[in-house]
Amino acid sequence: MKLSPTLAVATAISFALGFPFGTLAVPASTPATVMLVRFTVSAVIIGAIAAAMKLPWPRGWQMYHAAIVGIVSQGFQFLGVYIALDHGVPPAIAALIVAMNPVLTAVVATKILGEALSSRRVLALGIGIAAIFCAFAERLFGVGAVPIAALWAIVGLAGISLGGIYQQRYLHSGHSMTNYSIGVAAALVPAGALALFTGVEVSDWHTFGINTALIVLFNGLISSVLYMMCIKQGGAAATSMLFGVIPSIAAVASWIMLGQRLDVGIVAGLVLGALSCYLGYTQSRRKRASAVTGEKPVPPENDAVKDG
């Protein structure tokens, strides 16, 4: 299982652009409004393309699994991210929190997929947590508290991590586009539930229209389908490693589009986040290599603890 570099780069860039676009779209309406429009338009367009191309659709329980993947990885991910952005969490920081996907995936995979939690994965987890604290360092020391809205970004992190693992374990048939069409339609359930509490309204149609269209294009259509293709091609653990570079791309895009400066804490967080993801990637790569060759990993001569 190996990811195509072209597929990986395209996925990372298109996914990262969704954070600054979301920052512009959400204040012009409500998070629920953006989600409802995004999921509805995406489901219709992808479903129509899949039908026109006569792509295979999942059947029976596989259709059910596709819906669960959509509710968790799409619905809960963007419910958390958009609420965080709506409450003032900078897109670079929201992206950094969601970028801990490889770390959370590695930990959860030890229970669900039966993978071993080695010392290297524990180190990656620790560095990932340090990355989040660094990103909030300036606000923590300046204001004395981390914004509570950041917890919503953690909900988004849990959604994309658990959704990817669920897909790898249970969703084995159908095309990536048809599976996504079913999933994003099912994601309207949490979006609708949020709408009941927050309402559906638009305060600035021009800003909302342009940026929601860009969200649908880059996040709703391109990155979401590419992400599912990555999981199908390389697995959830390998795909999650793309989040090592997504915060950096999102931060640069936010600087260009929104004029949001990069303080020392965010830069340090981006570097540590990338390192955390790299450690997890090399761990996953070694595990895959040993699974293919049937060989057991050989620990370093001066290290009594086996690395993976």
When mean pLDDT is compared across 118-122, 252-256, 268-272, the lowest value belongs to 118-122
Grade residue 284 by pLDDT with cuts at 50, 70 and 90.
low
CA distance 73 to 160: 4
pLDDT band, very low/low/confident/very high, at 303 (cuts 50, 70, 90): very low
pLDDT for 139 equals 62
Greater confidence (224 vs 59) lies with: 59
Q: Is 226 exposed, middle or buried (0-12, 13-18, 19+ CB in 10 A)?
A: buried
pTM for this one?
0.74
Residue 234 CB partners (closer than 8 Å, separation 6+): 1, 2, 3
> Residues 29-53: what's their mean pLDDT?
92
Supply 122's token pair: 């524990």
Separation CA 233–CA 19 (nearest Å): 25
Predicted pLDDT at 79: 93
Residue 197 burial (CB count, 10 A)? 8
Comparing 167-181, 216-230, 273-287, 293-307, the range with the smallest average pLDDT is 293-307
**Which band of pLDDT confidence, cut at 50, 70 and 90, is reported for residue 32?**
very high
pLDDT one-digit tens code per residue, 153-166: 999 999 999 998 89
Q: Which are the contacts of 218, defined by CB distance < 8 A and separation ≥ 6?
A: 14, 15, 17, 18, 21
* Mean pLDDT, residues 222-230: 82
Question: What's the mean pLDDT in 13-30?
Answer: 87
Alpha-carbon distance of 17 to 224, in angstroms, equals: 12
> Residue 258 has which token pair?
């929104």
The mean pLDDT of 89-95, rounded to a whole number, is 80
Out of 37-41, 116-120, 244-248, 263-267, least confident range = 116-120
CB 122 within 8 A of CB 306: no
What is the residue-wise DSSP string for 121-138? Answer: HHHHHHHHHHHHHHHTHH
What is the reported pLDDT for 189?
95
**What is the arithmetic mean of pLDDT over 9-14?**
85
User: What digits encode the pLDDT tens for the residues 54-83?
Assistant: 989 988 899 999 999 999 999 999 999 999
Rounded to a whole number, what is the largest CA-CA distance in the chain?
63
Q: Which of 18, 13, 6, 8 is nearest to 219 (CA)?
A: 18
Mean pLDDT across the chain = 79
How does residue 40 score in pLDDT terms, banded at 50, 70 and 90?
very high
